[in-house]
């Protein structure tokens, strides 16, 4: 229903303006009781009231009374009426109304808010939260030692929560969007702090040699599809599509991923991140590697799994397989890392008495090994020590590890280096939007910008007649 015009009424010595609240198309918005939602504001002069009426009608009655008042008088300190709920109250209401998140994500949001946001801002009415409050909260989180990636996730949660408050007309504007905070890239969302952690193809091959051959299909799958760990572990037999006369190239379907229903809860199979189901073409070499993992298995069984068909746990794989291989690839046979401990016959005491420390860097209280100035656990090379030589065939990491997720970044880097269009890269990686791909990997695309400049320069160098003739020829081609 189209809204009626706003009306002005004189009440005593003041002037009241009232209108039915509408959407941006001018259609009235019914309240929960099915009745119209009215907005009204009162002014000391008829001139101000007429101006308020003009503003309300100019925005097709989609502005609240508070927005109209702010337009005339300027924003109030709180951007809201005093009776707005506290952030903690609003968060519970907002989170309870979100429909497109998993139970695990809901539980994660609750923990994030409880541990990181509520202690500083939870008791404050949302109408009183200012950009200064948000900025101070971010700085306190940094002072407390929180990682940039963690702060970014918390900031995004707060921003989404307050976006909901704006849509529900509790506040006029979101204070998060008025800060100077710059989004840091988030490690478990396909981004990393600082420089992007990726292997060159030569580095990947060097690292691959350090793994037992039984892990090669998994490593190649992660590196050449760009799948997330949770997605790769969810690939079943039927998701590997064999080549056929109609479709000569083999494919893999990334349709699902392992998730948790809550913090510490059991894992379950759900949709991929952002619900981006995709079907990727793979080369025959990778397909031939995967065939032995599929052979003899029934529909529904996992391609990558433990000896009893169970999902491979990320933490176990990282600590028992990935990390040892990565360290070994960084060690040189000619220049091994320094050894811990010295032979000193007859020495007694504890490891800490001679500088020995445990894995946490604290003094080690274990007794010395006979004939050494260290305990039995702290003799030899440090498990994470690597060589610092420049010898060939030794892997050197300028960016910290990052785990198997580094293979996903490597896949994207290789595609861009080969000139694969950004939209194709984005779809293969399963990003929600091309903007996400651009934000993470935009620095890898300078050649594309240079190519655009060359193309435009080429147009400039042509004579006007030549350009017109070329455009006419293009116009005459039949449309597809």
DSSP 322: I
Q: In CATH, what number does 87-184 get?
A: 1.10.150.130
Task: Give me 135's structure tokens.
Answer: 């900025």
pLDDT tens for the chain, 480 residues long, are 445 678 898 887 788 899 888 877 777 777 656 677 788 888 888 888 888 888 888 888 888 888 888 777 765 544 444 468 899 999 999 999 988 788 888 888 999 999 999 999 998 899 889 999 999 999 999 888 888 888 989 999 999 999 999 998 888 889 998 888 876 544 344 433 345 789 999 999 999 999 999 999 999 999 999 999 999 999 999 999 999 998 899 999 999 999 877 666 788 888 888 778 899 999 999 999 999 999 999 999 999 999 888 999 999 999 999 999 999 999 998 888 877 888 888 898 999 998 888 877 789 999 998 889 989 888 877 777 888 888 989 998 887 788 999 999 999 999 998 889 999 999 999 998 888 888 788 777 666 666 666 667 666 555 455 545 544 544 444 444
> Can you tell me the distance from the alpha carbon of 192 to that of 409, in angstroms, rounded to the nearest whole number?
10
Which residue, chain included where needed, has tokens 């209401």? 93
Handedness of CA 225, 226, 227, 233 (dihedral sign): positive
Q: Do 32 and 44 contact (CB within 8 A), yes or no?
A: no
DSSP 367: B
Q: In degrees, to the nearest 5, what angle opens at C-alpha 459 toward C-alphas 455 and 465?
A: 155
> Can you tell me the distance from the alpha carbon of 133 to that of 419, in angstroms, rounded to the nearest whole number?
45
> Can you tell me the distance from the alpha carbon of 177 to that of 209, in angstroms, rounded to the nearest whole number?
48
Cα Dmax for the chain: 103
In the chain, where does the domain assigned CATH 1.10.150.130 lie?
A: 87-184
> Can you tell me the distance from the alpha carbon of 320 to that of 197, in angstroms, rounded to the nearest whole number?
21
pTM of the model: 0.61
Look at residue 141 and give its three-state secondary structure: helix
């Amino acid at each position: 229903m189209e809204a009626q015009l706003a009306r002005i009424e004189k009440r005593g010595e003041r002037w009241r303006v009232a209108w039915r609240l509408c959407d941006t198309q001018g259609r009235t918005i019914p309240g929960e009781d099915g009745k119209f939602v009215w907005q009204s504001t009162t002014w000391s002069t008829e001139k101000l009231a007429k101006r308020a009426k003009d503003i309300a009608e100019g925005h097709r009655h989609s502005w609240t009374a508070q927005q109209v008042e702010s337009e005339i008088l300027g924003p109030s300190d709180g951007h809201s009426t005093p009776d707005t709920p506290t952030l903690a109250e609003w968060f519970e209401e907002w989170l309870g109304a979100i429909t497109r998140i998993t139970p695990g994500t809901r539980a994660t949001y609750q923990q994030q808010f409880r541990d990181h946001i509520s202690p500083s801002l939870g008791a404050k009415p949302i109408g009183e939260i200012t950009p200064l409050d948000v900025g101070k909260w971010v700085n306190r989180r940094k002072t407390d030692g929180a990682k940039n990636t963690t702060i970014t996730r918390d900031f995004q949660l707060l921003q989404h929560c307050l976006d909901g408050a704006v849509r529900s007309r509790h506040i006029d504007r979101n204070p998060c969007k008025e800060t100077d905070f710059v989004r840091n890239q988030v490690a478990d969302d396909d981004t990393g702090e600082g420089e992007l952690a990726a292997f060159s193809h030569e580095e990947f091959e060097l690292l691959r040699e350090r793994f037992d051959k039984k892990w090669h299909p998994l490593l190649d799958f992660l590196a050449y599809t760009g799948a997330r760990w949770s997605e790769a572990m969810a690939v079943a037999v039927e998701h590997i599509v064999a080549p056929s006369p109609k479709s000569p190239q083999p494919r893999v379907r990334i349709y699902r991923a392992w998730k948790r229903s809550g913090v510490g809860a059991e894992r379950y199979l759900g949709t991929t991140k952002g619900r981006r189901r995709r079907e990727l073409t793979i080369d025959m070499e990778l397909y031939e590697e995967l065939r032995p993992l599929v052979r003899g298995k029934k529909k529904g069984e996992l391609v990558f799994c433990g000896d009893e068909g169970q999902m491979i746990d990320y933490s176990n794989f990282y600590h028992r397989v990935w990390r040892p291989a990565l360290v070994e690839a960084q060690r040189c046979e000619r220049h091994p890392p320094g050894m811990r401990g010295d032979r000193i016959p007859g020495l007694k005491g504890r490891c800490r008495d001679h500088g020995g420390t445990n894995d946490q860097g604290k003094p080690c209280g274990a007794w010395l090994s006979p004939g050494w100035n260290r305990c039995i656990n702290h003799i030899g090379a440090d498990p994470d020590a690597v060589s610092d030589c420049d010898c060939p065939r030794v892997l050197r990491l300028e960016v910290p590890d990052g785990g198997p997720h580094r293979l996903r970044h490597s896949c994207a880097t290789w595609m861009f280096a080969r000139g694969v269009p950004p939209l194709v890269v984005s779809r293969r990686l399963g990003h929600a939007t091309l903007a996400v791909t651009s934000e993470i990997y935009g620095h890898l695309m300078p050649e594309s910008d240079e190519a655009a400049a060359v193309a435009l320069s080429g147009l400039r160098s042509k004579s006007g007649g030549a350009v017109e003739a070329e455009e006419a020829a293009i116009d005459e081609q039949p449309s597809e």
